[in-house]
Every structure is written in C-alpha cells, then in structure tokens.
Amino acid sequence: MERVLAQPEEDDFRPDVALILAECKTTGEVLGSMRLVTNFQHPLHIETEIELPALFTARNLMEAWRLTVRPGPAGKMVTAALYKVLYEVGYAADVDHVLVVARRPVDRLYQSMQFKEALAGQKIALSNTLGLPHSLYHLPVKDADRLWRQAQCALYPFMAMTVHPDLEVHHHEVTQRFFAAAYAEDRL
C-alpha cells in the first residue's frame, strides 16, 4: 500500500527548505523525493531534540528528511539521483555538513557513501522516528570528493564526474532561497 502525505507539512513552506522531486520523464509521476532543511534561519529538527557534537557548532548544516523512493526497478537510480542533488545543493549553498538519521539497512547506504557516524555509535530515538533507535550520520560536503576517491566509492563516477542531463538543479534559485532566508532573519 502506498502512503502519501495528504497535506503539505509546515516545513514545506519554510523559506530555508528545498523540496527535491524525482519525476518520470514520460508520465510526470513522482518516483522519489527528499526535503532539504538548513540551519540558515532556524535550528535543524535534530538540534531541537539532541545536543549536537561540537564539530557542528557555528557551521552551515543541512538535514536530509523524508527520503522516499517508489519501489521498483528504477529505485536505485532514483536514490542515487536524489543523493547527487543533495550533494550538489549542499556544495552550491556552502553547507559544511549534511546530516541524516538512519537505521539498518538504510544506514549501510550512507556508510557506503562515506557518511560518518556523528555520535560514536550512540543511538537516538527522535519524535519523527516512532521511537525507533537511529544513528546520526554526517558528510563533510567540501571533503566528499576526496573521501569518495579514497574509498573507491562505487557511486563516485556518477556523483562527481557525470553531468546528468536529466537532473535539473537550479542552484542559483536554491542558494538564493537559503541565503535570503538567513539574511532576512539577520535583519530582524
């Protein structure tokens, strides 16, 4: 059974949030999505529930939320494309670290993409994870290319060396949106 949000959530209207959609070129059907939330204007969700390690103090952070991919043969490619966009947006927006929470078996995907555990193995149960223990992972965006090459990451050619014509990322619009939100907050 497919689950769909009946109404947009409050975060969907925030100026410092970007919604990423993967759509089928032929039908326009949504194949996957991800919400990117920055700390440019407000603390991240995770920051309202736990104290982050000092590594993240006074840093530009982005949290990837609501990763959803429709099951099927295209699922792995859609997931890779969403992560490529996550990386590109993070890099263009001068994000220091991307944060995600995950549990098995999804955590293996993050580990293979060189996300590192942020809490030294400590599990956390957050309000949006139904109380299930999750790990917090981070990717230092500016070091990602080096980390992928060193680890001989299987996704490296796609993530860093492929200009994919089907990925339409309006970097200027996204970064302008993120930074406009941050500057608007500073002026208040």
The angle formed by the CA atoms of residues 22, 25 and 28, to the nearest 5 degrees, is 70
pLDDT of residue 187: 40
Compute the mean pLDDT over every residue in the chain, rounded to the nearest whole number. 83
Q: Does residue 188 have a pLDDT over 50?
A: no
Q: Which structure tokens are listed for 167?
A: 């990925």
Residues 6+ apart with CB under 8 A from 57: none
Averaged over 4-29, what is the pLDDT? Answer: 78
Extended beta strands in 39-141, E state: 61-69, 97-102, 116-117, 135-140
pLDDT of residue 182: 55
Q: What is the pTM of this model?
A: 0.84
Q: Which domains does the chain have, with CATH numbers?
A: 10-164 (3.40.630.30)
pLDDT in tens, 155-183: 888 888 888 777 777 767 777 777 665 55
pLDDT of residue 1: 36
Percent of residues, the chain, with pLDDT higher than 90? 21
Residue 144: closest CA among 117, 186, 168, 114:
114
Pairing of β 30-38 and β 61-69: antiparallel
Burial class (CB in 10 A: 0-12, 13-18, 19+), 57: exposed
pLDDT in tens, 89-99: 898 888 999 99
CA distances from 182 to 50, 67, 69, 107 (A): 22, 24, 30, 31
pLDDT in tens, 104-121: 877 888 888 899 999 988
pLDDT of residue 62: 94
pLDDT of residue 4: 55
Label residue 57 by pLDDT band (50, 70, 90).
very high
Percent of residues, the chain, with pLDDT higher than 70? 91
What is the CB neighbour count within 10 angstroms for residue 116? 14
- CA-CA distance, 149 to 147, in Å (whole number)? 6
